[in-house]
Amino acid sequence: MFERSLEFFRPHHLELRKRIIRIFLSIIVSTAIAYAFSEQIAAFFIEPLLQASPFVHKLVYTNLPEAFVSYLKLSLLIGLVMSFPVILYQVWVFVSPGLQGDEKKIAAIVVFWASLLFTGGATFSFFIVIPRMLMYFMSYAGPNLEPLPQFGMYLTFVARTILAFGLAFQIPFLMVMAGKTGLVHPTHFRKKRLYFYGVIVVLSFLLTTGDFIATGLLSIPLFALYEAGIFLTSLFGKKQKTDTAINP
């Protein structure tokens, strides 16, 4: 019985190992490429801080390996972002073996929209939210209070904010996937709209470290994305019912 179970799971195990290896190779290659340009990337990330306050002209690091570790962490983050379409494709192909003939087409659509949403969230955070957050935090600086931001901690702050916004913008994609897999009925999101709105506000407040301006800047687009997710979930739900009625 045990041997028969092993034979049943063996193809899935081999498939999972193949997908994981491809994901790791993609991350390693992307991280190596990002590390080659880590100084230029770091300078690009630091620019909003320099523009946020006249009291900041440079960053500091307080222990010897901090700069190296920070460049490495930044490169890994960029590597993960660059590998996001590959990761998503590999995961989707593994969990959707029943698609067969249309698998590549559907996977390409999923990867495209999820990657577009992630890029939109990351771009929105870096060019809209982060500059306003930095101006708020740096408003406490003055002649008697000199800011000395650390290189590593600042890059970590920017990286976490970008990653949080990128993942938060996946809301419509996750809603559609939940509806199509049958985990949640399409009408559930519409009925529980107010509860989800409350969750969005709380999460936005936590992700933006309590900055009310940034909370609003994140909450408003997430409300719109949530409504888009309701529409798309209902649309795909109707399509699925129609296909079932035609091909029972």
Confidence (pTM): 0.74
134, 52 in Cβ contact below 8 A?
yes
The owner of tokens 């970590």 is 156
For residues 3 and 40, what is the distance between their CA atoms, to the nearest angstrom? 55
> For the segment 86-131, what is each residue's pLDDT rounded down to a tens digit?
888 887 777 665 555 555 566 667 778 888 888 888 898 899 888 8
The per-residue pLDDT for 124 is: 87
Annotated domain spans of the chain: 2-246
Bridge partners of 60, per DSSP, are 150
Indicate the pLDDT class of residue 37, thresholds 50, 70 and 90.
Answer: very high
> For the segment 16-25, what is each residue's pLDDT rounded down to a tens digit?
888 889 999 9
210: left (phi over 0), alpha (psi -120 to 50) or beta: left
Residue 168 CB neighbours (<10 A)? 22
Residue 5 pLDDT > 50, yes or no?
Answer: no
